[in-house]
Amino acid sequence: MNDDCLFCTLYRDGDHVAAGDGFVAIRDINPQAPVHLLVIPEHHIDSLREIAEFSADENKRMLEFIAEVAAREKLTDYRVEVNVGPGAGQTVFHLHWHIKGGWKP
């Protein structure tokens, strides 16, 4: 827990769409798709660059949680994105996964 980190704070106190063992999902405050969720791990790393700090089990459970959240939101077709670094659009430096979907076919 990093008190200065927005997503550490939202992990603890945010309005969660779903919560798992070490992961939560929230709705993006500025949605870029009809459904736009963020999956946030409890374990703070600044970005995907530091993913070696996660265990194989954490990584597996994180990906499974992403798929579970999408299914729970009834998204059959969706996009999962991670921005790495400001040049790629990263603005919050706590690893998070965007789930975007809900477009009409």
The site map against ligand 5GP for 36-65 (x = CB under 6 A) is --x---------------------------
Q: Identify the bridge partners of residue 39 per DSSP, sorted by sequence position.
A: 25, 97
Query: Could you tell which of ligand 5GP, Zn ion, none binds residue 45, using a CB distance below 5 to 8 A set by kind?
Result: none
Sequence-ordered alpha helix ranges (H) in 1-105: 6-13, 56-72
> What does each C-alpha distance from 3 to 43, 44, 90 come to in angstroms?
13, 11, 19
In the annotation, is 36 catalytic? no
State which of residues 36, 61, 94, 96 lies at the interface with Zn ion (CB under 5 A).
94
